Amino acid sequence: MLIFAIIGLGCIAGYAANAILGGGMYPDSWTEVLVAGVAGSFVGGLLVSLLSGDGLAIRPSGIIGSIVGAVIVMAGWRAIKSRR
């Protein structure tokens, strides 16, 4: 069940990261949004949840970490993509 929550929150985090980085309401690449969101959710959400002492439960600290992680992953992805 935790895996489905990570994927669901990852999708939301990726969409939020796209909006924060100026991608607008309709992203150009949904694949980029999903991958960045899930990767950011897994890394950022897990790291922040464990550091704050919440464990593996879904808490606000993990959600905020998911969005921050997704922003970092998506910004890195776009920087690498723009260099090509």
Q: Using CA atoms, how far apart are residues 84 and 1, in angstroms rounded to an integer?
A: 38
pLDDT of residue 61: 66
Q: What is the pLDDT of residues 14-29, one digit of tens each?
A: 889 889 988 777 777 7
More confident residue, 77 or 44: 77
C-alpha pair distances (Å), 72 with each of 1, 2, 43, 54, 66 = 26, 23, 10, 22, 10
CB 8 within 8 A of CB 66: no
Q: What is the mean pLDDT of residues 36-45?
A: 80
Say whether pLDDT at 54 is over 70: no
